[in-house]
């Protein structure tokens, strides 16, 4: 099994191509569709890099695997699905996330919340065959209720659950997030052999170091500043909740989530031929009709 990482600097996101050298069977994990919020413009520059690599290696892309409905970038899954006929898969509890954000975005009544936009919903403990690649699905909620980790051979692809061993974990303050669930998820991963490789979903380069994306379970258990093997549930929950209270919302939160709960489909054009995203105003700090926060009065 071979692994190639692609780093999207604007969103700190890692996309992975995983393949079997003999059969050329492959999967792509967490692809990125470029989005410029200033001009509200999408493009496929990052996908073109992945595309060129797939073509160069002669890979057969069987699945696009999403670790969760991302809140910091738009998914490029539909591009790969269209080009390669790859099926798009995500954890089965995406339905909970769809129900939550259908209400927040006031999506149309007929917006499905049963996950049918995805080709496959994956259950905890399920093994997915992508040609010669066997992929074990591990439910790892906390960042969202629907987060999953993919285990392929000796490698874990953890999305926003477990980051590099000098950084920590994903945040838990989004709707449906849970620091308690995050603790349980990480501790479940810590039961795996120390030499198990960990490939992270983002790298925020603490201290200005070079971008990195691979660590091990053993290194994280020993070094992770937020959650070591010896960290108690109470200690982690207290830390995670305090830290999350200081964090700003992701730059592309609203744009990303409403596309990603729809399996990466862009909104359909309106009658005038233009596509529109929905952006809730003052969701986290409600205001009066003059725009003054109500808690400031």
> Degrees (nearest 5) of the Cα angle 163, 64, 142?
35
CB-based contact 161:148 (threshold 8 Å) = no
Q: What integer pLDDT is reported at residue 296 of this predicted model?
A: 77
The 10s digit of each residue's pLDDT in 212-234 is 999 999 999 999 999 999 999 99
- Domain count for the chain: 1
What pLDDT, on the 0 to 100 scale, is given for residue 297? Answer: 64
83-120: pLDDT as tens digits: 999 999 999 999 999 999 999 999 999 999 999 999 99
CA dihedral (243, 248, 251, 253) positive or negative? positive
- Say what angle helices 179-189 and 233-244 make with each other, to 10 degrees: 130
- Does residue 25 register a pLDDT over 90? yes
* Ramachandran angles phi, psi of 133, nearest 5°: -95, 130
Could you tell me the residue range of the domain that residue 81 belongs to?
Answer: 2-296
Give the CATH number of the domain where residue 17 resides: 3.60.15.10
For position 124, what pLDDT does the model report? 98
Is the model's pTM score more than 0.85?
Answer: yes
Asked if 167 and 184 count as a contact pair (C-beta separation under 8 A), the reply is no
Give every strand in the sheet of 2-8, ordered side by side.
2-8, 13-19, 25-29, 60-65, 87-91, 120-122
């Amino acid at each position: 099994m071979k692994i190639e990482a692609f780093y999207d600097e604007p969103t700190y996101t890692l996309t992975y191509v995983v393949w079997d050298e003999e059969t050329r069977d492959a999967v792509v994990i967490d692809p990125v569709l470029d989005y410029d919020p200033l001009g509200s413009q999408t493009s496929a520059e990052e996908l073109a890099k992945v595309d060129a690599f797939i073509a160069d290696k002669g890979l057969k892309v069987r699945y696009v695997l999403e670790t969760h409905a991302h809140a910091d970038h738009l998914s490029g899954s539909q591009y790969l699905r269209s080009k390669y006929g790859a099926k798009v898969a995500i954890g089965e509890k995406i339905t909970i996330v769809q129900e939550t954000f259908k209400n927040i975005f006031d999506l149309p009544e007929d917006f499905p919340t049963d996950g049918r936009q995805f080709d496959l919903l994956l259950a905890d403990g399920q093994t997915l065959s992508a040609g010669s690649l066997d992929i074990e699905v591990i439910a790892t909620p906390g960042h969202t209720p629907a987060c999953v980790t993919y285990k392929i051979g000796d490698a874990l692809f953890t999305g926003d659950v477990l980051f590099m061993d000098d950084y920590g974990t994903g945040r838990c303050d989004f709707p449906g997030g849970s620091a308690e669930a995050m603790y349980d998820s990480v501790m479940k991963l810590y039961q795996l052999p120390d030499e198990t490789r960990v490939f992270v979903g983002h790298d925020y380069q603490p201290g200005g170091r070079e971008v990195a994306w691979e660590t091990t379970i053993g290194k994280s258990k020993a070094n992770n500043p937020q959650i070591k093997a010896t960290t108690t549930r109470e200690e982690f929950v207290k830390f995670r909740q305090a830290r999350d209270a200081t964090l700003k919302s992701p730059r592309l939160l609203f744009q990303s989530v409403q596309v990603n709960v729809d399996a990466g489909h862009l909104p359909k054009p309106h009658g005038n031929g233009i596509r529109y995203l929905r952006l809730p105003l003052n969701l986290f700090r409600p205001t009066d009709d003059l725009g003054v926060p109500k808690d400031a009065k």
